[in-house]
Structure 1
Amino acid sequence: MMSQEERHMMIIYDDPSDQRSLSMDDTSSADDSPNESRLSLEQTNDLVPYIGQRFPTHDAAYEFYSGFAKRCGFSIRRHRTEGKDGVGKGLTRRYFVCHRAGNTPVKVANENKPQRNRKSSRCGCQAYMRISKTTELGLSEWRVTGFVKHHNHELLEPNQVRFLPAYRTISDRDKTRIFMYAKTGISVQQMMRLLELEKCVEPGYLPFTEKDVRNLIQSFRKVDPEEDSKDLLRMCRSIKEKDHNFRFEYTLDSNNKLENIAWSYASSVQAYEVFGDAVIFDTTHRLTAFDMPVGIWVGINNYGMPCFFGCVLLQEENLRSFSWAVKAFLRFMNGRAPQTILTDQNMCLKEAVTMEMPTTKHALCMWLIVAKFPSWFNAVLGERYNEWKAEFYRLYNMESINEFELGWRDMVNSFGLHNNRHIGNLFALRSLWALPYLRSHFLASLTTTGQSKSINAFIQRFLSAQTRLAQFIEQAAVAVDFKDQAGEQQTMQQNLQNICLKTGAPMETHAASVLTPFAFSKLQEQLVFAAHYASFQMEDGFLIRHHTKLDSGRKVYWNSQQGIISCSCHQFEFSGILCRHALRVLSAGNCFQIPERYLPLRWRRVSSSATKLQSNPDHHAEKIQQFQSLVSILVTEATKSKECLDLATEQVSLLLSRMREQTIASLQVRDVGMPRNLS
């Protein structure tokens, strides 16, 4: 009788569909006699299988035939195995066939199971090699007892055969490298290019494809979701033990499984103290590997670079989850809400912000809306899409609400968009995204195209990570740390640049010594434009009008005694940078320095996280001015020689480290690592 092991192997390699198309019994091959085998050996090349060829194991025979197949342009697979009933000698015969042998078996349709409908390459090819087991003098070996080399299909060229699945293999060393690359968040295309460079092979000539790498990463992710959640919490607790200022909160569902989790780093809390006046809460991304919505809190620092404030993973995008996320963020930031928050067009999120941040101005992030325009309007407008988009941006940047609404009606009529639901929704929400409605609220330049690209690139850095959920927090920390280091380098480069003064006005010189190059460039632009405007004193202020215009203009109020100036364009309220109209009035009033209150701390060269944005700048005006002078002198002296620059960099780095340690030590450490139930 056949042993249980033999029956098991027969089941593994026996393919009924192949048996119908192949006839591989003993009579179909050459005779098994040793004499004829030796004759065949003398007449056959060693690289081609021949009758009587010997192998120590069936695996060795498989490897030999596989190598032959690769050189010829096809691949092989194991087919049938046979044993002798009643003898108990195990497997005695084995078949290796062309990968296109047999016919595709007919699948029974199952309504409850989705069908993959994959195309098959099988075409009933008869090429095969059969080996049989023999024993002589107590030694076992395998001999070739059947070989057919003719195929009923074309063989592949050498540059094509490598794409067959049988020859696409990833070594253990390459797997290790791929998993390491996945943790860094780089794309699969970048992984492939790095491996090509490491192995010194031409692009596209690795022994595996992008699809193989994606499948490998996907198999790495296939873990028990519950265990993955536990690993995630263990990771958070581990980070908390190393850094007591790391903050995280989470909720559990009714089955005691992880539902939502939010976290923030010590450096993020510190940055929020100064730059948390305007924040973007981007919830448009998902972790593809886990199909989870992810929300990212991000802002902009005084050098115009993105700064990370926090992150949240949610199971559901509903009011309850968003409300918890907003409350968790406020707890991380010691209860301080931003002045302005920008989000996507999510009505649940809008309601959550209104409930949990009643004093915060909520606006819609324009570049998150614009990203949807191609899918909304491309097919509708066709060739006129770009024309419509240009008109939309013109309306978006208008200053007058009345002009915006009149222009919107004209745009709808011109492009025939009366019944378009997206146009209707945009107009209904116009007060949340159109600049004419938002100019009196501080947005810190977050609406500009340059900032949107910079922030989006920063977010994509760790969202592209191809790894498990438990390591996502660690990867986000790496991305934030990388951004901090890059930011410090860019900050140094900006500070070392020689500032070019364009007007020669004392106000320009003063602003250049106080503001960061990023903020100063914006103020300098307004100073240059100010020279093109005429100033007319009125009973209740000044009328500022461009020299080419005879009507309209901006109304500016200026109280020289109190040092208060305001303009009807609301440029300062919107960006924290004085407008050309106000600067024109200051210049006409013989003001040689910009009042301290109009040089916000968040745009200055030196900002301390211990200084609140709401504090009165005049309280520290004298010390700040003195310190700014010292910094200016330091930069001037440091750039005189390489030795001076190295010395200054070293000493300032030590000073910054001491200041940061002192700041972190003074922060209140709150235990936010305990689960909080949703109310």
Structure 2
Amino acid sequence: MMSEEAGQMLVVYDDPSDQRSLSLDDTSSTEESPDETRLSLETTNDVVPYIGQRFPTHDAAYEFYSEFAKRCGFSIRRHRTEGKDGVGKGLTRRYFVCHRAGNTPIKATNETKPQRNRKSSRCGCQAYMRISKVTELGAPEWRVTGFANHHNHELLEPNQVRFLPAYRTISDTDKSRILMFAKTGISVQQMMKLMELEKCVEPGYLPFTEKDVRNLLQSFRKLDPEDESVDLLRMCRNIKEKDPNFKFEYTLDPNNRLENIAWSYASSVQAYEIFGDAVVFDTTHRLTALDMPLGIWVGVNNYGVPCFFGCTLLREENLRSLSWALKAFLGFMDGKPPQTILTDQNMCLKEAIAMEMPATKHALCIWMIVVKFPSWFNAVLGERYNEWKAEFYRLYNLESIEDFELGWRDMVNSFGLHTNRHIANLFALRTQWALPYLKRHFFAGMTTTGHSKAINSFIQRFLSAQTRLAHFVEQVAVAVDFKDQAAEQQTMQQNLQNICLKTGAPMESHAASVLTPFAFSKLQEQLVLAAHYASFQMEDGFLIRHHTKLEGGRKVYWVPQEGIISCSCHQFEFSGILCRHALRVLSTGNCFQIPDRYLPIRWRRISTHSVKLLQNSPSDHSERIQLLQSMVSSLVAESAKSKERLDLATEQVSFLVSRIRQQPLPSQGPKDIPSIHRNL
């Protein structure tokens, strides 16, 4: 028989499902005796709620019951509240129940609105605690008047209960920390690892999960798009006031709302002057704050490190918007278009580039194509998919156009892909992605898999830096600055590395003193391979063939008097690094130094300031500056090998700098350039 107190408790459960699921033992409604009660805060022995237990506030009672529930393996939630003796007397009774109490009511279906159909954890559990407000001697307190700890479900283990939503909380301090991390552009996984280290907890034991962090960041993006746009423009103007070299352009629609915006930083414009010959324009991402397409211009510097050139946000990814973005970008860069530009397979973008950059070679990023292969060909080819992919890469890396087209035809026949629309589309666009068709154009090595991964990782840093749209421009600047500092550190580490000469040839040591370690490693590979090739002088040049081959080979044309050399493989035109065939001819012709024109400025050990001086200098002064730069690079490389060498170099260079500063400066003119370079 249910007691009167239990019956009263059922009254507060207005939901019929709760009435069916909740039944209380008679013992749970025992009336408490004031003489036998005590405040739970007076002793630490009160680990289990009991009838008559006293609390100063209902929040204190909730916290106590919550801690008890956590130890047992469940969580609680606030349920019904009621006032005693009618309305107006205030809150006099509260109920806390197990998180699995009650049953899930059936929701009305709406065919026009998609249903989430999330599974409910409620199973009619009867565990609860009831507290009532008692006022004695003018001091109100709360007493436990009902308690049951009977569960109709399994309780969780201690290492599982922490994943319940009630125990996953992010403190205000942690929220501030997470938002600060977000501004730097690091990923959520990296945030979690950093906070685990800071709090000295084992991996996975923070009081919140990755999903909680992502939800927190997402909550900061759910703002009014119009207000966000206004704040974004205000942020750009503020940055412009602080840095006059910051550049941005935007357009408004007829309703005076932000339509498109593009921006670039002073360091990006400076980097583009030197390394803007080959550019990647990635438009495959979206900024979730406003669900706008995001375009990012990036390149690669002389140390092989990705560098940022600019960003754009577009309302629509159509021909008009993309043309505007390209115009804005060229405006930032003083109208200088890149020699080559790599993009995804976007027909509107292809047309926009043809309109705005007619002299630029447009190619497709191979990694943006390859990433689609599983969805295109996995089901079609089945077990032969990996075999086909290996054949595709072989064809992609061929040097001859004729060999590529013959091989493609054989591949289609071998795998039965005559009617496959993706294969037909790839072949139709082959001049924009296959290396045999791109070899005559400079791409700074950005078509390789290694560079593609580095650039993609570089772009992901900006996508991680999303909290609010209004702060996105500033956050990208932080991410760019962070990347620039990392690049400087990588540059320093490369310069301090001992360079290992593998051939002993004078050309190798000369190149090592001029090129960056990144570029030299590429050239050194070709120098080593050059020794495996035979050279045959012909009437119109040289035929270079591998020593194991009896046919074929590459034609090399060399004019020693003018220092001009070219190869039919076009590797220098493609990467800026001389090929093994040309190096073999130079070696045969007793050439002990690589001609300066084949040691491009963009691959040399010089800063952006030095490159600008070289580009603006007359030829005679340029040669002298290049020679001095080579000598300085050799000095640094040799001095770094030991402490004694470094001390000697520091002493001698200090003396030399003092003597140079004593020399009088000539009047302004072309001959001032070397002195300017010295001051730098």
TM bin (shorter chain) = 0.7 to 0.9
| Counterpart for residue 590 of structure 2 | 590
Checking the alignment, whether the CA contact within 8 Å between 1:96 and 1:130 is kept in structure 2 is yes
| Counterpart for residue 4 of structure 1 | none
| Counterpart for residue 7 of structure 1 | none
Q: What SS does the corresponding residue of 1:298 show, helix, strand or coil?
A: strand
Structure 1 residue 121: Cα displacement:
1.7
Amino acid at match of 1:183: K
Structure 1 residue 571: Cα displacement:
1.7
Cα distance in 1 for partners of 2:339, 2:548 equals: 37
Say if 1:610 and 1:24 are closer, same or farther in 2 by CA, change over 3 A: same
Cα distance in 2 for partners of 1:486, 1:139 equals: 63
What whole-Å deviation, never above 9, does each CA across 1:429-454 have from its counterpart, x for those lacking one?
Answer: 00111111111111111112222222
| Counterpart for residue 454 of structure 1 | 454
After superposition, the CA RMSD in angstroms is 3.2
Cα distance in 1 for partners of 2:283, 2:218 equals: 24
Amino acid at match of 2:631: S
Amino acid at match of 2:33: P
Map of 1:58-207 to 2, 5 A cutoff? 58-85=58-85, 88-207=88-207
Moved more, 614-623 or 115-124: 614-623
What whole-Å deviation, never above 9, does each CA across 1:157-179 have from its counterpart, x for those lacking one?
Answer: 33322222222222222222222
Moved more, 170-179 or 622-631: 622-631
Q: What SS does the corresponding residue of 1:352 show, helix, strand or coil?
A: helix
Moved more, 49-58 or 96-105: 49-58
Moved more, 398-407 or 107-116: 107-116
Amino acid at match of 1:557: Y
| Counterpart for residue 287 of structure 1 | 287
Cα distance in 2 for partners of 1:371, 1:594 equals: 39
What whole-Å deviation, never above 9, does each CA across 1:426-479 have from its counterpart, x for those lacking one?
Answer: 100001111111111111111122222222222222222242122222222222
| Counterpart for residue 247 of structure 2 | 247
Q: What SS does the corresponding residue of 1:71 show, helix, strand or coil?
A: helix
Q: What SS does the corresponding residue of 1:293 show, helix, strand or coil?
A: strand
Amino acid at match of 2:596: E
| Counterpart for residue 227 of structure 1 | 227
Say if 1:627 and 1:74 are closer, same or farther in 2 by CA, change over 3 A: closer
Higher relative contact order by CA 8 Å / sep ≥ 6: 1 or 2?
A: 1
Map of 1:3-18 to 2, 5 A cutoff? 16-17=15-16
Structure 1 residue 363: Cα displacement:
0.9
Amino acid at match of 1:576: G
Structure 1 residue 631: Cα displacement:
3.7
Say if 1:458 and 1:623 are closer, same or farther in 2 by CA, change over 3 A: same
Structure 1 residue 596: Cα displacement:
2.2
Amino acid at match of 1:547: H
Amino acid at match of 1:176: S
Cα distance in 1 for partners of 2:475, 2:656 equals: 29
Structure 1 residue 360: Cα displacement:
0.7
Q: What SS does the corresponding residue of 2:555 show, helix, strand or coil?
A: strand
What whole-Å deviation, never above 9, does each CA across 1:332-373 have from its counterpart, x for those lacking one?
Answer: 100000111111111111111110000111111112212222
Amino acid at match of 1:451: H
| Counterpart for residue 622 of structure 2 | 620
Map of 1:520-669 to 2, 5 A cutoff? 520-606=520-606, 608-611=610-613, 620-637=622-639, 639-641=641-643, 643=647
Say if 1:563 and 1:68 are closer, same or farther in 2 by CA, change over 3 A: closer
| Counterpart for residue 395 of structure 1 | 395
| Counterpart for residue 361 of structure 1 | 361
Checking the alignment, whether the CA contact within 8 Å between 1:596 and 1:617 is kept in structure 2 is no
Cα distance in 2 for partners of 1:474, 1:492 equals: 27
- Say yes or no: does 1:442 pair with 2:442: yes
- Say yes or no: does 1:20 pair with 2:19: yes
Checking the alignment, whether the CA contact within 8 Å between 2:466 and 2:472 is kept in structure 1 is no
Q: What SS does the corresponding residue of 2:451 show, helix, strand or coil?
A: helix
Cα distance in 2 for partners of 1:25, 1:485 equals: 66
Say if 1:472 and 1:617 are closer, same or farther in 2 by CA, change over 3 A: farther
| Counterpart for residue 331 of structure 2 | 331
> What runs of 5+ residues in structure 2 fail to find an aligned partner?
1-8, 661-672
Amino acid at match of 1:187: S
- Say yes or no: does 1:30 pair with 2:29: yes
What whole-Å deviation, never above 9, does each CA across 1:578-601 have from its counterpart, x for those lacking one?
Answer: 222222333333333222222221
Q: What SS does the corresponding residue of 1:141 show, helix, strand or coil?
A: strand
Structure 1 residue 617: Cα displacement:
6.1
Moved more, 128-137 or 326-335: 128-137
Say if 1:239 and 1:34 are closer, same or farther in 2 by CA, change over 3 A: same
Checking the alignment, whether the CA contact within 8 Å between 1:17 and 1:102 is kept in structure 2 is no
Structure 1 residue 237: Cα displacement:
1.5
Moved more, 215-224 or 129-138: 129-138
| Counterpart for residue 370 of structure 2 | 370
Moved more, 347-356 or 206-215: 206-215
Cα distance in 2 for partners of 1:331, 1:182 equals: 30
Amino acid at match of 2:623: A
Q: What SS does the corresponding residue of 2:585 show, helix, strand or coil?
A: helix
**TM-score, normalised relative to structure 1:** 0.87
What whole-Å deviation, never above 9, does each CA across 1:314-343 have from its counterpart, x for those lacking one?
Answer: 222111111111111100100000111111
Cα distance in 2 for partners of 1:650, 1:114 equals: 74
Structure 1 residue 619: Cα displacement:
6.8
Checking the alignment, whether the CA contact within 8 Å between 1:441 and 1:573 is kept in structure 2 is yes
Cα distance in 2 for partners of 1:255, 1:104 equals: 46
| Counterpart for residue 673 of structure 1 | none
Cα distance in 1 for partners of 2:518, 2:655 equals: 25
Say if 1:652 and 1:78 are closer, same or farther in 2 by CA, change over 3 A: farther
Cα distance in 1 for partners of 2:382, 2:450 equals: 27
Checking the alignment, whether the CA contact within 8 Å between 1:404 and 1:436 is kept in structure 2 is yes
Structure 1 residue 14: Cα displacement:
6.3
> What runs of 5+ residues in structure 1 fail to find an aligned partner?
1-9, 667-679
Q: What SS does the corresponding residue of 2:612 show, helix, strand or coil?
A: coil
Amino acid at match of 2:531: A
Say if 1:17 and 1:593 are closer, same or farther in 2 by CA, change over 3 A: same
Structure 1 residue 549: Cα displacement:
2.5
Structure 1 residue 490: Cα displacement:
2.3
Checking the alignment, whether the CA contact within 8 Å between 2:30 and 2:145 is kept in structure 1 is yes
Structure 1 residue 253: Cα displacement:
1.7
Q: What SS does the corresponding residue of 1:485 show, helix, strand or coil?
A: helix
Moved more, 496-505 or 18-27: 18-27
Cα distance in 1 for partners of 2:24, 2:264 equals: 70
Say if 1:344 and 1:134 are closer, same or farther in 2 by CA, change over 3 A: same
Say if 1:649 and 1:297 are closer, same or farther in 2 by CA, change over 3 A: farther
Checking the alignment, whether the CA contact within 8 Å between 1:188 and 1:210 is kept in structure 2 is yes
Structure 1 residue 376: Cα displacement:
1.9
Checking the alignment, whether the CA contact within 8 Å between 1:279 and 1:340 is kept in structure 2 is yes
Say if 1:47 and 1:614 are closer, same or farther in 2 by CA, change over 3 A: same
Structure 1 residue 84: Cα displacement:
3.6
Q: What SS does the corresponding residue of 2:110 show, helix, strand or coil?
A: coil
| Counterpart for residue 666 of structure 2 | none
Cα distance in 2 for partners of 1:453, 1:554 equals: 31
Structure 1 residue 497: Cα displacement:
2.8
Cα distance in 2 for partners of 1:247, 1:122 equals: 56
Structure 1 residue 613: Cα displacement:
6.4
Amino acid at match of 2:557: Y
Structure 1 residue 188: Cα displacement:
2.2
Structure 1 residue 611: Cα displacement:
4.8
Q: What SS does the corresponding residue of 2:395 show, helix, strand or coil?
A: helix
| Counterpart for residue 3 of structure 1 | none
Checking the alignment, whether the CA contact within 8 Å between 1:294 and 1:314 is kept in structure 2 is yes
Q: What SS does the corresponding residue of 1:412 show, helix, strand or coil?
A: helix
Amino acid at match of 1:499: I
Structure 1 residue 103: Cα displacement:
1.5
Cα distance in 1 for partners of 2:32, 2:498 equals: 92
Structure 1 residue 312: Cα displacement:
1.3
Structure 1 residue 196: Cα displacement:
2.2
Amino acid at match of 1:134: V
Structure 1 residue 100: Cα displacement:
1.8
Cα distance in 2 for partners of 1:26, 1:537 equals: 105
